[in-house]
């Protein structure tokens, strides 16, 4: 118990440090000379937390520690903010260097929109974590049954047999989601089942890009029309708060309203500190 607290404390200190370092990078009065290095620096904590997600004892679908997920999403948002500020500080001619680094992250970002969109999702997750753990082994069977991949599916896993994200992949993905949702609904109830739909998708890379409503319509002859509708309930979680948090990155990356004046940097750092300490254990 003590060692767990220490790990949490250490990770918080690390997040705080990384947040300040990335702020130092992005709030510099001028665009940094080593622009690729600075861009990579934005992902320092993200990379660490990503590894934590991969090495977690339980998978995301199936009872992963809520603190691990929380730390990951914070690191993700910090990275997005950091890159956005770097772009703001640098002239357009130099954006390609940033975008090279950003590009590697972009694929992941699409898969994380729903998951890390707001803190209420994680609060909700923490409440249902123990039951999702209980339903875990059966939920994991769903991946084996429907995706039939040799790779163990952990987090943003590339399902290599379906590199092209084709229709067949999306059909199998929908079946997997349905299978997990049904299992969680059976074991834990409706609310956790809705949540499980959001948790399953980021486990498989690119699966968030499937248009599940199209597949559902195609499968209507064999399935009841209401199957899988919960996938769309999840849109609730990607409402205004996400749009606010990612303003200037989702729609208009080059035109963020954040300018690199010291006072704005100060406010941003206060905001980040508040964000970090919001989840402090009581």
Ligand X SMILES: *[C@@H]1O[C@H](CO)[C@@H](O)[C@H](O)[C@H]1NC(C)=O
SS3 192: helix
Residue 133 or residue 185: which is nearer to ligand X going by CB? 185
Backbone angles phi, psi at 6, to 5 degrees: -65, -40
Backbone angles phi, psi at 233, to 5 degrees: -60, -30
Binding mask 246-275 for ligand X (x = CB under 6 A): ------x--x--------------------
Which span sits near ligand X by CB under 6 A: 11-19, 41-49, 182-190, 272-280? 182-190
Sign of CA dihedral 230, 165, 143, 102: negative
Count of residues binding ligand X (CB under 6 A)? 9
Q: Does the protein bind ligand X through residue 214 (CB under 6 A)?
A: yes
Query: Contact with ligand X (CB under 6 A): which of 182, 223, 242, 247?
Result: 182
d(CA 166, CA 230): 22
Could you tell me the smallest distance in angstroms from the CB atom of residue 259 to ligand X? Answer: 11
SS3 157: strand
First to last CA, the chain: 15
Contact 154, 140 (CB under 8 A): no
Contact 63, 133 (CB under 8 A): yes
Could you tell me the smallest distance in angstroms from the CB atom of residue 221 to ligand X? Answer: 17
Q: Does the protein bind ligand X through residue 213 (CB under 6 A)?
A: yes
Residue 151 or residue 213: which is nearer to ligand X going by CB? 213
Could you tell me the smallest distance in angstroms from the CB atom of residue 230 to ligand X? Answer: 7
Dihedral angle over CA of 73, 76, 81, 82, nearest 10: 140
Q: Does the protein bind ligand X through residue 185 (CB under 6 A)?
A: yes
Query: Contact with ligand X (CB under 6 A): which of 161, 211, 241, 261?
Result: 211
Q: Does the protein bind ligand X through residue 218 (CB under 6 A)?
A: no
Query: Which residues contribute to the site for ligand X (CB under 6 A)?
Result: 182, 185-186, 190, 211, 213-214, 252, 255
């Amino acid at each position: 118990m003590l060692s767990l607290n220490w790990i949490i404390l250490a990770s918080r200190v690390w997040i705080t440090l990384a947040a300040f370092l990335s702020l130092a990078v992005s709030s510099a009065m001028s665009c940094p000379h080593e622009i690729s290095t600075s861009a990579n620096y934005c992902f320092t904590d993200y990379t660490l937390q990503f590894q934590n997600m991969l090495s977690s004892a339980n998978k995301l679908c199936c009872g992963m520690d809520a603190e691990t997920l929380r730390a990951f999403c914070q690191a993700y948002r910090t990275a997005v903010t950091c890159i956005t500020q770097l772009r703001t500080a640098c002239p357009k001619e130099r954006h390609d260097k940033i975008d090279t680094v950003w590009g590697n992250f972009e694929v992941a970002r699409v898969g994380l929109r729903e998951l890390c969109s707001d803190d209420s999702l994680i609060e909700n997750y923490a409440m249902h974590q123990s039951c999702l753990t209980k339903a875990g082994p059966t939920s994991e069977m769903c991946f084996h049954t429907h995706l039939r991949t040799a790779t163990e599916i952990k987090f943003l896993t590339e399902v290599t047999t379906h590199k092209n994200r084709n229709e067949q992949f999306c059909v199998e993905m929908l079946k997997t989601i349905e299978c997990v949702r049904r299992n969680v609904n059976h074991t834990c109830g409706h609310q956790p089942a809705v949540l499980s739909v959001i948790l399953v998708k980021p486990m498989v890379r690119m699966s968030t890009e499937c248009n599940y409503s199209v597949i559902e319509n195609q499968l209507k002859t064999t399935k009841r029309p209401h199957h899988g509708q919960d996938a769309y309930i999840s849109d609730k979680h990607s409402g205004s708060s996400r749009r606010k948090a990612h303003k200037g990155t989702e729609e208009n990356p080059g035109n963020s309203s954040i300018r690199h004046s010291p006072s704005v940097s100060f406010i941003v750092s206060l905001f980040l500190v508040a964000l970090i300490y919001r989840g402090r254990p009581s």
